[in-house]
Amino acid sequence: MPRVSTMPFGRTGHNSTRTIFGSFAIKDADEDQAARVLELLYHYGINHIDTAPSYGDAELKVGQWMSAHRSDFFLATKIDVGTYRQAERQLQRSLERLQVDHVDLLQLHNLTDEVRREFVMGEGGALDYLIEAKEKGLTRFIGITGHGFTAPQRHLETLRRFPFDSVLVPCNYLLMQSDEYAGSFGRLLDYCKHKGLPLQTIKSAARRKYPDRRWSNATWYQPLTDPEAIGSAVNWVLGIPDVFLVTTGDMDVLPHILSAAARLDGPPPDAAMRELAESQGMEPLFT
């Protein structure tokens, strides 16, 4: 049975699967759907779950798994509020929903807006609480996530101010065709490798934005749906050494991502990826 390979998740001491389950996919799942997803994770050997309090009922669904399977997963959630007290309340709620007494990784969500970052990292900000939560054993590690074109550069600035334990940014073939983005992503990757930090990536299977601002129930952007196209997109991202890939928020796309990640055969050549982007009508999500 092909299983997704693992590698050290930075300095945490945990060997995480290179493909991390993004639990946004089960935010609206019923009990049977969530059970099938859990079976899928075990089928491919996935041992790392990423969730967040803003992902609908995802924390509740993951929490239903934790009583019997907590030791099988590196568990990450997020904080998306600005102040110490707000972060304290949000983590306590997340721990209750997840049915655990601690998480392995607590991440400051989308820390890319410069003004918000100053509040979060200032006196009495959410970062003060994350530091305290780590000291109290409520989380083992703390990290940062980011969306948008400027995420790699913003993260580099942030990492020079505080030694976070993990990083998350967008990465896909089309986005990396921008010299500006690829350059800032490369600098961030080099920094992470030098400091021993895991670099997680999102949006690997993104196709384009929905026209006329119409969203699906799963994601705010159109994902690729053709299994071969998904496989090529996943192979391309995981062809970048030392990065992790967080799965998409669409439950129908999830099996194809996991299947591709378990059967890596090297990144497709640029010519094949250019043809894929054209045939699928792919457009950059961020500019």
Beta bridge partners of 265: none
pTM above 0.85, yes or no: yes
Pick out the chain residues at pLDDT < 70. 212-217
The mean predicted confidence, pLDDT, of the chain is 95
pLDDT computed for residue 187 by the predictor: 98
**84-127 residue pLDDT tens:** 999 999 999 999 999 999 999 999 999 998 999 999 999 999 99
- In a domain, residue 287? The reply is no
Any idea what the CATH number is for the domain that residue 219 is in? 3.20.20.100
pLDDT, residue 33, reads: 96
Model confidence over 148-168: pLDDT tens digits? Answer: 999 999 999 999 999 999 999
Residue 284 domain-assigned (yes or no): no
243 in a structural domain: yes
Is the Cβ–Cβ distance between 223 and 252 less than 8 Å? no
Count of domains observed in the chain: 1
Q: What's the CA gap between 84 and 77, in Å, rounded?
A: 17
Domain that holds residue 175: 6-279
CA 229 centroid distance within chain: 20
What pLDDT is stored for residue 205 in this prediction? 96
pLDDT, position 210: 86
User: Which residue shows structure tokens 């591709």?
Assistant: 260
- Provide the pLDDT for residue 211: 77
DSSP 240: S
| Residues found in the chain | 287
- The backbone torsions φ and ψ at residue 270, rounded to the nearest 5 degrees and listed phi first, read -60, -40
**Phi, psi for residue 105 in degrees, rounded to 5:** -140, 130
Q: Which of 68, 128, 144, 124 is nearest to 99 (CA)?
A: 68
Tell me which DSSP letter residue 129 carries: H
Residues 121, 124, 128, 130, Cα dihedral to 10°: -100
